Amino acid sequence: MLGWLRLFARSRVERTLLLSPDEFEAMLARERSRADRAQSCFSVLTLSVPATQLQQADLLAIAEIFRKRRRATDLTGRTQDGHIAIVLPDTSHTQAEVLATALTEALGVKGISFTHTIRVYPELAS
Segment 4-60, tens digit of pLDDT? 445 454 444 344 467 889 999 999 999 999 999 999 999 999 999 887 766 766 777
Let me know the angle formed at the C-alpha of 81 by 58 and 54, rounded to the nearest 5 degrees. Answer: 15
The answer for residues whose C-beta is within 8 angstroms of residue 15's C-beta and 6 or more apart is 67
* Cα dist from 89 to 2, 61, 126, whole Å: 24, 23, 19
State the fold for domain 2-121. Alpha-Beta Plaits (3.30.70)
**What does the pLDDT look like over 55-113, one tens digit per residue?**
766 777 777 787 787 788 888 888 999 888 999 999 999 999 999 998 899 888 888 88
Quote the pLDDT of residue 126: 42
Quote the pLDDT of residue 2: 46
Q: What is the pTM of this model?
A: 0.79
Listed by start position, the domains of the chain span: 2-121
Calpha distance 55→13 (Å, rounded): 22
108 forms bridges with which residues in the sheet? none
